[in-house]
């Protein structure tokens, strides 16, 4: 139970700059997800918070205290490693009680806490087993149980679900959320899976190449990404991007995708985009905002026709790939309304959901 | 028809067995595996057999060329009693060897564990070089290394009398045991996932605490292996023992047997064989005790 504050945090491994000056405030009992592609410095950041990695520059505060010089054993942090890192020579019970025993907790207290954590995680009947006798999912639970019993000030997770199969992963995701609701603690959760981050976290931190791209709630990240990277990283399937020219028209502005295809910019965005008129820009739109032809909800919708290239049925929706100007994009349509491959189909583009990116800076304008 | 009913009920054990019969090809495969072992066993165990059979023959039987060398006509204990009454075999050589072997193994494995752990985990500059250097020390032949060691022992002897005592061996055996043990354990420590150790730090252990409570228990098979090899190497050591010790009472088994049971061209064959057999027994017993630990995979289940 503590807040965490990272100030201008740097980490070099020789010539490699793994973390390049990140600033982050994590609130008391907040669940924060660090998400980003592999190699972007998530694990390194987490390990610096835990004290397992020396800090090249900057400051880490945990609950008002600067902990740069505090060894891991005195930080009162529990971490769930990607590969679980159970003690193979100890039973599940011993694995879970080890940290408490080291800290000289009374025996009855240890027993009470282990039993309770085992109950939360549904592993009460496994307490006498060795890690080698457990399945992957069970080991995962033990690793979490070992963290829970400690009742630490901060929980760190490093891609805890990445070694589980898809079904178990979804199930454990829900359980982690439940556990956090029950065991209120500050959590920093590292993942490369944006769905995990979206579903679990109070706030998401998107990292790329050692820097933070954006921090925000899951909804903010989805609806108003600040950079091209965040726009492409959050959301599944990911956003469509097209090169375009922002053309001036009689009524205002239009996104010009090719000589014979222009989509007018909604009126309420005209002022915002005006400085970029006549410039080469990147137009971004999510698949769910390009649908089969629908009645218009407001003046911002635009209808277009195109030939269907590929269909990918997903049950609830069907993903339709077609060419918009020179680029192939993906639309999300009602399964009953799609045409056959090669045939023409009508689409409705919700231009009020569009994003415009300045390619020279990568910023969403 | 009645047999049909019987199979339906599977009450007769004979029939149940018939259904579960091992297929011929599986038996053949097993037989092939055993046959493949025969040449190995012949080479490994035949000398041992000759030693055992010769040690229970009387002097007359050994010297009688008409008798088969592969079989004994009876069991004679005279070779064993000869060892007891006429040599220092039990009283000194065995005891000396046990002391030297045990103490130098304890020293070497302790020092080796610490060195190997440091080389496997700590990231100081030149750690790679150091690892290679350890290996090279191990490669320097003993037959060369004993020359400077004689000098060293003589030097120490000027202050503390260790020449002609087993202390000279306890001091010199670790020179070849420590590099070996370090090199062996270094590889083993590297296979222990570093996250498990880090988890121990987060659980509140100091570096030393993590070493004793987590790393060493996980390294038990490696440590047992180091103990076994170190014990065997010093038990069988011959050269240093021959060079540093002349006093009959201070000798170890390997040298005592060699110098006292072979006089010029006279070989006390029976007693020699009896001594060889008795000399291997402690090692065999040690292996028997430790083999179970050695083969059990203790690091299983740590990760994933
Ligand atoms: N011990 C190390 N030595 C050298 N480079 C490292 C080390 N650990 C990580 N790196 C580098 O730092 C960068 C960030 O790594 P990491 O934090 O593990 O990424 P992530 O967890 O986001 O996938 C990568 O380029 C990686 O190669
Ligand atoms: Mg990582």
Read off the pLDDT of residues A321-347 as tens digits, 9 standing for 90 and up.
999 888 899 999 999 988 889 999 999
Out of A81, A98, A163, whose CB is closest to B195?
A81
Q: Whose CA is nearest to atom 20 of ligand 1?
A: A39
Q: How confident is the model at residue B302 (pLDDT cuts 50, 70, 90)?
A: low
Q: How confident is the model at residue B9 (pLDDT cuts 50, 70, 90)?
A: very low
- Token pair, residue A309, equals 């290239």
* Nearest CA distance, B106 vs chain A (angstrom): 24
Predicted local distance difference test score (pLDDT) of residue B10: 42
- Same-domain status, A220 and A312: no
DSSP code for A266: P
- Same-domain status, A276 and A311: yes
pLDDT at B97 over 90: yes
Q: Which residues of A touch B198 (CB under 8 A)?
A: 50, 52, 72, 79, 81, 85
Predicted local distance difference test score (pLDDT) of residue B114: 93
Residues of B with a Cβ under 8 Å from any A Cβ are 193, 195-196, 198-206, 209, 213-214, 217-218, 220, 297-304
For A344, phi and psi rounded to 5 degrees?
-85, 145
CA A148 to chain centre: 23
Range of the domain at A156: 4-229
* Arithmetic mean of pLDDT, B290-297: 67
Contact indicator for B25, B32 with CB cutoff of 8 Å: no
Atom from ligand 1 closest to the CA of residue A207: 22
- Per-residue pLDDT tens for A157-189? 999 998 888 888 998 899 899 889 888 899 999
Compute the distance between CA of residue B273 and CA of residue B120 in angstroms, rounded to an integer.
44
**If DSSP codes are grouped into helix, strand and coil, which group holds residue A206?**
strand
- Same-domain status, A170 and A82: yes
- Per-residue pLDDT tens for A32-61? 999 999 999 999 999 999 999 999 999 999
Asked whether residue A348 is domain-assigned, the answer is: yes
Concatenating the DSSP letter of every residue in A218-253 gives: HHHHHH--SBHHHHHHSSSSPPEEEEEEEEE-SSSE
Ligand 1 centroid–CA B75 distance in Å is 71
Last residue of a domain, one of A208, A229, A250: A229
What percent of chain A shows pLDDT beyond 90?
77
- Same-domain status, A81 and A198: yes
pLDDT at B299 over 60: no
Compute the distance between CA of residue A360 and CA of residue B198 in angstroms, rounded to an integer.
43
Predicted local distance difference test score (pLDDT) of residue A326: 84
Lowest average pLDDT, out of A12-16, A104-108, B54-58, B126-130, goes to: B126-130
- Same-domain status, A222 and A244: no
Question: Which position has the token pair 């299983």?
Answer: B300
| ipTM of the complex as predicted | 0.86
Predicted local distance difference test score (pLDDT) of residue B72: 81
Asked whether residue A234 is domain-assigned, the answer is: no
> What's chain B's average pLDDT?
85
- Per-residue pLDDT tens for A237-257? 999 999 999 998 887 899 998
* Nearest CA distance, B290 vs chain A (angstrom): 17
* Arithmetic mean of pLDDT, A25-32: 94
Residues 6+ apart with CB under 8 A from A100: A109, A110, A113, A114, A149, A150
A42 lines ligand 1 (CB under 6 A): yes
pTM: 0.82
Number of domains in chain A: 2
**If DSSP codes are grouped into helix, strand and coil, which group holds residue B267?**
strand
Predicted local distance difference test score (pLDDT) of residue B304: 59
Asked whether residue A14 is domain-assigned, the answer is: yes
- Same-domain status, A99 and A152: yes
* Arithmetic mean of pLDDT, B152-174: 92
Last residue of a domain, one of A179, A207, A229: A229
* Arithmetic mean of pLDDT, A191-207: 94
Compute the distance between CA of residue A112 and CA of residue A110 in angstroms, rounded to an integer.
5
Comparing alpha-carbon positions, the chain B residue that sits nearest to A96 is B203
Predicted local distance difference test score (pLDDT) of residue B58: 87
Contact indicator for A28, A185 with CB cutoff of 8 Å: no
Compute the distance between CA of residue A320 and CA of residue A174 in angstroms, rounded to an integer.
30
Q: Which residues of A touch B199 (CB under 8 A)?
A: 79, 81, 85, 87, 146
Q: How many CA atoms lie within 13 A of A95 on its CB side?
A: 35
A287 lines ligand 1 (CB under 6 A): no
Asked whether residue A46 is domain-assigned, the answer is: yes
* Nearest CA distance, A21 vs chain B (angstrom): 25
Is pLDDT larger for residue A359 or for residue B75? A359
Do the Cβ atoms of B203 and A50 come within 8 Å? Answer: no
Alpha-helical regions (H) of A27-85: 42-50
Asked whether residue A235 is domain-assigned, the answer is: no
A83 lines ligand 1 (CB under 6 A): no
Ligand 2 centroid–CA A213 distance in Å is 17
Q: How confident is the model at residue B296 (pLDDT cuts 50, 70, 90)?
A: low
- Token pair, residue B225, equals 């292996």
Q: Whose CA is nearest to atom 18 of ligand 1?
A: A43
Predicted local distance difference test score (pLDDT) of residue B18: 56
Q: Whose CA is nearest to atom 24 of ligand 1?
A: A39
- Same-domain status, A127 and A206: yes
CATH of domain B82-303: 1.10.3720.10
Comparing alpha-carbon positions, the chain A residue that sits nearest to B300 is A132
B89 sits in the region (left: phi over 0; alpha: psi -120 to 50; else beta) called alpha
pLDDT at A196 over 50: yes
Lowest average pLDDT, out of A162-166, B44-48, B165-169, B295-299, goes to: B295-299
CATH number of the domain encompassing residue A246: 2.40.50.140
- Token pair, residue A265, equals 């910019």
Last residue of a domain, one of A178, A202, A229: A229
- Same-domain status, A246 and A123: no
A41 lines ligand 1 (CB under 6 A): yes
Alpha-helical regions (H) of chain B: 2-9, 13-19, 24-55, 59-63, 78-86, 95-121, 127-139, 142-157, 167-191, 194-202, 207-210, 216-218, 220-236, 239-244, 253-260, 269-295
Do the Cβ atoms of B203 and A98 come within 8 Å? Answer: yes
Do the Cβ atoms of A84 and B218 come within 8 Å? Answer: no
C-alpha distances in Å from residue A323, one per residue of A261, A304, A305, A353: 11, 11, 10, 19
- Same-domain status, A206 and A95: yes
pLDDT at A300 over 70: yes
Residues 6+ apart with CB under 8 A from A64: A2, A3
Predicted local distance difference test score (pLDDT) of residue B4: 43
- Same-domain status, A141 and A276: no
What percent of chain A shows pLDDT beyond 70?
100
Q: Whose CA is nearest to atom 26 of ligand 1?
A: A39
- Per-residue pLDDT tens for A205-221? 999 999 999 999 999 99
* Arithmetic mean of pLDDT, A187-207: 94
Compute the distance between CA of residue B84 and CA of residue B98 in angstroms, rounded to an integer.
17
pLDDT at B11 over 50: no
- Same-domain status, A225 and A246: no
State the Cα torsion A132-A137-A138-A141 to the nearest 10°: 120
DSSP code for A51: T
Rounded to 10 deg, the angle between the A107-121 and A136-150 helix axes is: 140
A346 lines ligand 1 (CB under 6 A): no
Domain limits of chain B?
1-44, 82-303
As residues whose CB is below 5 A from the ion ligand 2, the structure lists A 43
Q: Whose CA is nearest to atom 11 of ligand 1?
A: A18
- Same-domain status, A117 and A49: yes
CATH number of the domain encompassing residue A153: 3.40.50.300
Do the Cβ atoms of A87 and B201 come within 8 Å? Answer: no
């Amino acid at each position: 139970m503590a807040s965490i504050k990272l100030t201008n945090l740097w980490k070099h491994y020789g010539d490699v700059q793994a973390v390049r000056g990140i600033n982050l405030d994590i609130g008391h009992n907040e669940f924060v997800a660090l998400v980003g592609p592999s190699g972007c410095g998530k694990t390194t950041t987490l390990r610096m918070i835990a004290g397992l990695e020396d800090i090249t520059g900057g400051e880490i505060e945990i609950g008002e205290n600067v902990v740069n010089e505090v060894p891991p054993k005195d930080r009162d942090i529990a971490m769930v490693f990607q590969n679980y890192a159970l003690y193979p020579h100890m039973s599940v019970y011993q694995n879970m009680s080890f940290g408490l025993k080291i800290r000289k907790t009374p025996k009855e207290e240890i027993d009470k806490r282990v039993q309770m954590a085992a109950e939360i995680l549904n592993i009460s009947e496994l307490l006498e087993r060795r890690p080698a006798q457990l399945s992957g999912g069970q080991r995962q639970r033990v690793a979490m149980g070992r963290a829970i019993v400690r009742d630490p000030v901060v929980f760190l997770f490093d891609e805890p679900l990445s070694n589980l199969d898809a079904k178990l992963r979804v199930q454990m995701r829900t359980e982690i959320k439940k556990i956090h609701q029950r065991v209120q603690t500050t959590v920093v959760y590292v993942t490369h899976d944006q769905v995990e981050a979206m579903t679990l976290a109070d706030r998401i931190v998107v990292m790329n190449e050692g820097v933070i791209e954006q921090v925000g709630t899951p909804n903010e990240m989805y609806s108003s990404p600040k950079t091209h990277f965040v726009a492409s990283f959050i959301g599944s399937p990911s956003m469509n991007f097209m090169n375009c020219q922002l053309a001036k028209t009689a009524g205002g502005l239009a996104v010009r995708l090719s000589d014979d295809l222009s989509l007018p910019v909604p009126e309420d965005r005209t002022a915002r985009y005006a400085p970029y008129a006549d410039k080469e820009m990147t137009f971004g739109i999510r698949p769910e905002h390009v649908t089969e032809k629908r009645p218009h909800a407001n003046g911002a919708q635009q209808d277009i026709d195109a030939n269907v290239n590929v269909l990918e049925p997903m049950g609830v929706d069907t993903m339709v790939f077609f060419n918009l100007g020179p680029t192939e994009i993906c639309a999300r349509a009602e399964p009953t309304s799609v045409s056959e491959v090669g045939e023409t189909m009508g689409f409705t583009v919700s231009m009020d959901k569009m994003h415009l990116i300045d390619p020279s800076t990568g910023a969403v304008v | 028809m009645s047999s049909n009913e019987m199979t339906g009920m599977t009450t007769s054990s004979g029939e149940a067995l018939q259904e579960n019969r091992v297929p011929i090809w599986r038996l053949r495969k097993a037989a092939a595996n055993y046959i493949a072992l025969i040449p190995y066993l012949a080479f490994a165990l035949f000398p041992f057999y000759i030693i055992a059979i010769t040690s229970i023959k009387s002097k007359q039987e050994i010297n009688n060329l008409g008798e088969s060398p592969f079989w004994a006509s009876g069991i004679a204990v005279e070779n064993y009693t000869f060892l007891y009454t006429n040599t220092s075999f039990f009283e000194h050589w065995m005891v000396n060897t046990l002391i030297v072997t045990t103490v130098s193994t304890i020293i070497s494995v302790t020092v080796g564990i610490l060195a190997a752990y440091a080389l496997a985990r700590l990231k100081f500059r030149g750690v790679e070089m150091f690892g290679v250097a350890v290996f090279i020390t191990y490669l320097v032949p003993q037959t060369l290394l004993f020359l400077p060691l004689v000098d060293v022992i003589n030097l120490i002897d000027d202050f503390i009398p260790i020449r002609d005592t087993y202390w000279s061996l306890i001091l010199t055996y670790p020179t070849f045991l420590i590099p070996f043990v370090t090199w062996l354990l270094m590889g083993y420590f590297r296979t222990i996932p570093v996250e498990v150790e880090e988890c121990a730090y987060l659980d509140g252990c100091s570096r030393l605490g993590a070493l004793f409570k987590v790393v060493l228990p996980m390294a038990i098979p490696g440590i047992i292996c180091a103990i076994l090899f170190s014990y065997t190497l010093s038990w069988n050591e011959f050269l240093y023992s021959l060079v540093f010790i002349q006093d009959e009472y201070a000798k170890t088994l390997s040298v005592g047997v060699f110098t006292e049971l072979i006089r010029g061209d006279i070989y006390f064959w029976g007693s020699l064989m009896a001594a060889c057999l008795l000399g291997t027994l402690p090692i065999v017993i040690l292996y028997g005790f430790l083999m179970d630990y050695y083969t059990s995979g203790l690091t299983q289940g740590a990760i994933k």
